[in-house]
Structure formats: C-alpha cells, structure tokens
Structure 1
C-alpha cells in the first residue's frame, strides 16, 4: 500500500471514530454542565473549599475566580519547581532556575505547555506529576468552564448569573477529563507507551530516560496541552511508539473540541447550530491538512524532520491537528517543513486556533467570531444583528472585538520587538525569511496557548523567558475576560423572536459567512508578516 493510500485510510478511520463518539459524548458533556446533582466526592471538595455549589456568579465574579485560581496555580507551580531538590524522584536534577520556573508555570497554567527546557534533564517525576500534570487537567477544565459560561449567556433570559466557576471546574475535571484520560492511559500502555517511575534504563552502556509517560501522555493530548514528558515529544518512541498510538493521540486531541459543538447545540436547544460550527471547523482543518500534506510530499527533502516510523501523511496529519487546536504536541520537526508546509502550521494558529481549537477555547473563540460575522452581516443589510435570539449591540460587539484582537496584538508586538533586538540574532539557527518565521511562530504559539515550536530558535535567554511568559498570560486571560463580559451582557438580555428579517444561522449561507470572517480577519492581520516569512521562503 502506498503512503498516500495509508494516509487517507488513517484520516478516514479518524473521522469515523470521531463520528461514532460525537453524539453520545457531546450530549454527555451537556448533561455534566446542566445537571443539578453533585457526587459525594464533589460535595466533599466543596465543603473543603467552602464553596456553595447552589450559588451562581455574575460575570465579574466568575472572571475573578478564573484569574484568582490561575494566579494561585502559577505561584504554587513556581514554588514546586524551586524546591525540586528536596522532593522525591528528583534524581539529582536540582531546583529549576527562576526564569525557567516562571516561564514554565505560566505555560502550564495557561494550557500552553511551551517548554524552554529538556524535560528528562530538568524536571523530576514529582514536579511532572504533582505540578505539570495537575495543571494539564485543571487548565483544560478552565477552558471548558469559560466556554460553558458563554453558552449560558445565549440560553439564559434577563439574568446576571452565568453559573458557578468552581462547580464547572470540578465537574469538568472529575466527570470528563479524569475518566477519559484514565481510560486512554491504559490504551496507550497497550500500544507500547512507557509507564515507569525509574529515571532511565541502560541499553548497551547508554542511559535512556524513562518516566510515567502513558498517564501524562493521555491528558497531554486530551486536554490539548502538548507538553512532552520527554524532549522529543510525540516523536519519541516511548511517548508514541507506532502508528496505532499516533492515531490514538490525534483522536484524543480532537475529541473534546469536536464534541463540544454537539454540547453547544444540545444546550441551546438547536443541534443544527453546533453542526454549522463543526462544518466550518472541518472545512478549514481539511484545507490546511491538504496544504501541509501536499507541500511536504512535494518538498525537496520530503523526509527531513519527519519521523520515519510515521512518514509524511501521519506527520502532516499530526502537525495540522496540533496547530489547529491549542495542543502543541509534535511528532515531527516543524522547523524542517517546507516554507509552505511550515506556513500552514503557522496559519492554523493565526486563525485563532478555532479549527477546531483547544478544549473549551475553540468553542468560545468560534462563537465570538460568529458574533463578528453576524455584525458584518447586519452592516451589509442595515439592521441590528442578532445571534441565537440575542441582539448584538455596542457592548457585545466591543467585547467580541477585544477577544478577537487581543491575540494578533500580542503576537505582532512581541514578534516585532524580538525581531529588532540584537540578542535575538544569536538565538536563531537560520537567517532571512526562515529566521523571521521562527520568531513569528514562537510568539504565535505562545500567544495562542499552543506551545509547539519550529525548534530552530533558542529561547532560554531572559528576554524570551519573560516575553513569551507575558504573551502566554495575555493571550489566555484577555480573551477570557472579554468572553465572560460578553456572556454576562448576553444573559441580561431578553430573547427576541425570530422574524422574517432574521438571518438563519443553521444553513450554508451563515457557514460561508463565518468561514470568510475567520479567513478575512487572519489575512488582514497577518498577511504582511507572513509575506516576509513563510511566503517569501516558499517563493525562493
């Protein structure tokens, strides 16, 4: 069987698997967030934390809870890294340096998982398990909580309440992420992924690092986190030993972002709304897969940077999926991709990672873009725009615009400053357009909470540790605050009835409008920068 046929078979198998779980898992997540009962374990957590699960919060209080919880997570993770030398399973690796500890803490709390260190040389198992893996769970749960709060803004009428962040956080962690990750950790072990508390094994006189990989690999992909336990990430045979494990990991990356569109449709009482969002996500994901796959298959050195166990099709599929979501895991070296192939992975992130995006973040990002699309449609026909029965006035459109423009602002300012700093030139492995692509990719990855890298740039210097950490925080929390403000404004409104002048949002016209808005915003914002980087490289 040719590699192309094998690749198409993998894509088909992946789509069938997602189609099978789409309805039951999407509806299950809707029940998780709309249910009124609490398990015994959940009640114990609420009592310990002194949380009243029956109370609900205004958008400002919900946002404060998100920011406060994340801030505490950053502080605790920094402390854990700085005292690593006194913890068990540190293997003599010592305390993590301050700048690196700061960058890593923000990275994992923001669901970015950008790694400026070699995991098997810097992090002991205790920090990996008690610090980084815990954040892999709760950072994903935070994203889902914010998405659900926005959905409640559409479903509720004349209220200032969006639910309870602490309840949403606990339910997302205990009822969704933990059981699914546990199940697939076992599946990954069955495919050959390593699970060991040893620091390494000796083979022919050489020590090969090991870790409790499978348990962390499952939530790494399921929570669209992406931070590898081993430096080679999902190209390492201990993290991703064969084609089956590779396909399972891609499935895990897409599982929640795809099925959340069903959750959205179920919660708003019109599942066609979710189908439209899924269709738009699927079209853009498929288009970029075609671009990356074609570019790499026809490149001058088609196997450079690709793991030979997987080849071009699986490398392209993984690269497209990990950058179309906010995952950042890699099974190939994106720095070695062709100009067009690398540009495809970069453009995936610059779309705003809503195709299908990260856990929770993909859903709320595309809903914000749907509001922008409806606003543009309203301008064209001269009437007040509406979406799902809610009028989109100045407050709603302003909040949506802030959410959409926060990421491009952070990316372009950060990359622009880095490009003119003399110290940056020594950090680049490549001059010219490819070097600019490396810089742009780094700041796009950080600001979109993706975490993947071209890997042709050294980011261990103080400037990169600090600036990328700031970009991660701003890229995560500015849109979250704007989204929650938008949700609060929508919830206070009274639903308006559908009239003859209402633009239907369940058909191909709206899907086309939404797709065009996503592409247009990305093009107007980033084409000048892309023209100097990957586009120029592709034309050379």
Structure 2
C-alpha cells in the first residue's frame, strides 16, 4: 500500500516542478512584446491588427464570433462526411442533432461524445473536425485566461489585451510545439499514426479480424494537453491504441495537469505576486489530494455486493483487490483512481476505466470535482473559476469585518460581486435545471440502462459533465437521442460562455480601477489562512449547492448497497 502513496507523491511533486517551468513560459508568452514571424504572417492572413487594444466587450465578441464560426464549420463538415475523402469504411453523415451536439462539444472544450468514434467518424472528420476543434477550444480557453489575468494585473486601463494576439501566441508557442513532442512520444510507445482506416490480422484461432486504426497519436496529444478528453475510440483511454503502456498513462496525467497547474504560477508572475499564485496552487492541491484519497480508499475497499457474492477483493501479491469491475488490469486500482481524479479535476473527460462502475462513494469524486469546477480546472477556464471563488472569499471575509473587500489591491464593489455571482449561479442552475427536465421527460427511461439512484446519477452526471465542459460519462445513459443531444449541447454552450463572459467583464472592471495601498483592515490573500478559507468557501458554496442531488444519487446508492438492495 505504501508504494501507491509513494507513486502519488512522486507524481504530484513532478507536477509541482513542471508547474514552475511551464508557468514561466506561459507568463513570457502572455507579456512579451515581440511577435514571431509565423504570428505576424497569421495576423496578415486573418486580417487583424496586433496593436489594437480591446476592452472586455470587444474581446468577448471576438471570442464568441470566432468560436461560433468554427463550430458552424465543424457542424457542416460532420453533415457532409459521406462526401469527404479518407472515408474507407463508408461512415454516414451525422444526424442534425448529433452533429450539433458534437460541434458544440468540441468547440467548448467538453468533448462529450454521443457516438463511438471508430464507428461514426472517418479519418477525415477525426482530423479536420475533431482534432481541429480540440485545438480551437483549448487555445480559446488559455487565451481568455491570459486576457482575464492581464485585466487583473492592470490599473487605470481600458483594455485587457488583444484576443487574436493571445489566441495565436497560445496556438503557435504552446499548443502546437507541446503536441508535436508528445505525439512523437506516443508513436514511440506504440500508438498508431496512419491514414489507413483498418488492417487485417490473423488471430490465434486462425480467423481474420479487421482492426480499426487511424491518426490516433496526433489526436491523443491535444486531447490531454488541451484538457479535451474525446477519444478516437469509444473506449477512450482504456483502449490499448489510445493508452498502450503504463508510461503513456502517466504522461496522459501529466499532460492534463500541465497547463491548468502552470496557470496558477503564471498568474502570480504576471501580477508580481508569486506567493499569491502558490496559494492558489496549494488550495487546488489540497482538494485534489483529498478527493484522490477518497477515490482510492472507496475503490480499494471494494463493493459490499461483490463481497456477499463471494468475490475475493483482498489485496495480495497475485491480484490488486478492491473493485476491479470496469477497470483495466494493467492499471489496477491505484492508477485508475489517480486518472479518475485527474481527468475530472482538470475537466478533461478522458477515461481509462468506466466511471459508471465505480463504487457509489468513489463516484462522488468525479461528480464533486465537476460540480466545483475549479480544482485546477480546464485550460484557461480553471484559473478563471478559481479567481471567481477567490473574489467571493474576500467578499465573505470583508462582510465579516464590515469593510469593503479588496483583492489584489483593488476594491471589490457591487458590480464585481454581481458578475461573480452570475458566473457562480449559472453553473448549478444549468446542471440542476437540465437534470430536473430530463428526470420528468417521458422518453428518459428508455435511455437508461439502470434505474433507481444509479439511473438518476447517470442523468446528473451527464449534465454536470456537459456544463463543466468535462465530457466524461456514466456510460449507462444512451444520450444519442434528439432530446439529450439538444439539451446536452445547450448545457455545454451555457456552461462555457455564461461563466467565461461575466468573469471577463470582472477583469475589465478591475483593470479600470486604481490600486489602493493595503491598510490595517486589509485581509491578506497570500497566506495559508486565505488558502484554507478559499478551500472552505469552495467546498461550502459549491458542495452545499449540489448536496441534495448527490444525496438522491450516490449517497442513497451507497446506503442501499450496504443493505443489499439491487436494481435491474
């Protein structure tokens, strides 16, 4: 058992080291004045002026319009798939509702998939739609994160930067170089990277089997570095072509945490408040370790129902023990628990095991992390959501001592708090509203593979995953219906932009303010005390909001499991 915790410690220490290296590079990219040749060429091609300064409204308009156009392009290509080249298997075009869901999913960095990639998409659409939108969604998130942090750092300013400069710098300096190196590593480890759709092989029994493949390594690199999560195959990172070795599994984990963790360091560097960045990093790490411990303990303890059926769930030299249902033997309990925690903390959505097969207590971890949506979080949006709660924390502290709250030397007034609360409330309103609608929708029962509390958890998980832009699923839900494709698609769009745009407005508002010197009543925010208070506010505000829904799902399921209750 101690070897497991040693592995976890080494992984998290390496994440901390990579945070510094990557954080310095991100801060340099966001603050540098010079433009690379390829960036200047890109500005000319799309016809933008890199010297233009945008206020938060123009920045937000550029963000929304560009994303809408890329989503529309993806939708049209999915509808025209049958006419595109590289479609050796003759896959048909996606239906209108499914194409809408898919395009919305990938432009919002969610990567929810109501289809199995190998059975629904051609190599052409895997590259020019899926991989393209993976780059677009992830780059957008980091670019907006840069503009947001820049707004916090400025004083008496009318702008938060230039969206196109931020976007193209992130694309050319961060995403493409990282993905190129990681893709080469994946090919070395055995991932296919080919335009061939299938290869015939002779099995041990002498039969012929057609094995599907394609440009997998290139998709896998941006899938994790961009906290995307969508798989080339329906089995995602549990498939040996997507995750062939323990080494690729650990690189997946590092890739998912790399940019979200590094943005906390970049935040501190850009504001010349390194300690503040480490406080945010520490708050995320405390919650991450807590949820990791819960997942590992719940899974290693096994299922009470399997124990009653006579299954041996004891850890020994010959078996990993615990609840191995829905897991890969090559990863076992330990690496599965780490992957589950990482993929939902970083809102990636990639899976190396079936989340629906987690024990009820362990399933609380992915649900809770997506509900909180700020424990590192996705590329760019994670730091935005974290600062959202930091502002809420100083507001609560300020109200307790009867002073106008201050954050980063700027007064937090009514306008900022209203915008923060709009962003805070949009998330649970979307999750719980769509869940309630689906729970009473007449055709929902036909889409559920399970009933009772686990069936409710499947619905809750779907809309939580969509709104948090995660993309993982409790696979017992058949979401490829007009109702679920439409509502989940809307949840992804609302969850992305109804939290991102209000916080961009907060950055614009704070950028226009002057910095006030700290006084005797100023609450310091670069201290362990603030870190603890931040964790408390996140868990209370985020946790209590969703507690009734968790009680109806995983909590009831756990209690009924202990009582031996089964559902068909």
**Same fold (TM > 0.5):** yes
Shift of 1:6: 4.4
Q: Are 1:141 and 2:139 matched, yes or no?
A: yes
Q: Gapped runs of 5+ residues in structure 1?
A: none
Q: Residue 253 in 1 paired to residue 253 in 2?
A: no
Q: Which residue of structure 2 aligns with residue 197 of structure 1?
A: 195
Q: Structure 2 residue aligned with 1:96, among 91, 94, 97? A: 94
Structure 2 partner of 1:463: 483
Aligned to 1:130: 128
Q: Which has the larger radius of gyration?
A: 2
Q: Which runs of 5+ in 2 are unaligned?
A: 307-322, 561-568
> Which sits farther off after the overlay, 9-18 or 253-262?
9-18
Question: 2:232 matched to which residue of 1?
Answer: 229
For 2:416 and 2:295, how far apart are their aligned partners in 1?
A: 36
What secondary structure, in the 3-state scheme, does the structure 2 residue paired with 1:237 have? coil
Distance in 2 of aligned mates of 1:498 and 1:140:
37
**C-alpha separation in 2, matches of 1:146 and 1:165:** 7
1:131 aligned counterpart, secondary structure: helix
Q: How much does 1:432 deviate?
A: 0.7
2:353 is the counterpart of 1:332: yes
Specify the SS of the correspondent of 1:422: coil
Q: Does 1:121 align with 2:122?
A: no
Kept after mapping to 1: 8 A contact 2:355/2:363: yes
Please say if residues 368 and 543 of structure 2, whose CA atoms lie closer than 8 Å, have aligned partners that are also in contact.
no
Conservation of the 8 A alpha-carbon contact between 1:389 and 1:495? yes
1:493 corresponds in structure 2 to 513
Aligned to 1:505: 525
1:526 to 541, 546, 552: 546
> How far is 1:5 from its partner?
4.2
State the 1:155 CA deviation.
1.1
Q: Note the 1:41-440 alignment, pairs <5 A.
A: 41-91=38-88, 92-203=90-201, 204=203, 205-300=208-303, 301=306, 302-352=323-373, 354-440=374-460
In 1, the alpha carbon distance for the partners of 2:20 and 2:454 equals 43
Q: Distance in 1 between matches of 2:329 and 2:120?
A: 28
In structure 2, C-alpha distance between the alignment counterparts of 1:267 and 1:72, rounded to whole Å = 31
Using the alignment, how far apart are the partners of 2:18 and 2:455 within structure 1? 42
Question: Alpha-carbon deviations, 1:114-168, whole Å to 9, x = none?
Answer: 0001101111111111111111112111111211122112211111100000110
Cα separation, 1, equivalents of 2:7 and 2:256: 15
Moved more, 41-50 or 14-23: 14-23
TM-score (norm. length: structure 2): 0.93
Which position in structure 2 is the counterpart of 1:22? 19
Q: Does structure 2 retain, via aligned residues, the 8 Å contact 1:242–1:310?
A: no
TM-score of the pair, normalised by structure 1:
0.98
- Once the two structures are TM-superposed, the CA of residue 13 in structure 1 deviates from its matched residue by 3.0
Q: Distance in 1 between matches of 2:421 and 2:114?
A: 32
Contact 1:10 1:247 in 2 (8 A): no
Matches within 5 A, 1:439-450: 439-450=459-470
- Larger mean Cα displacement after TM superposition, 11-20 or 116-125: 11-20
SS in 1 for 2:443: helix
- Which runs of structure 1 show a deviation greater than 4 angstroms over 4 or more consecutive aligned residues? none
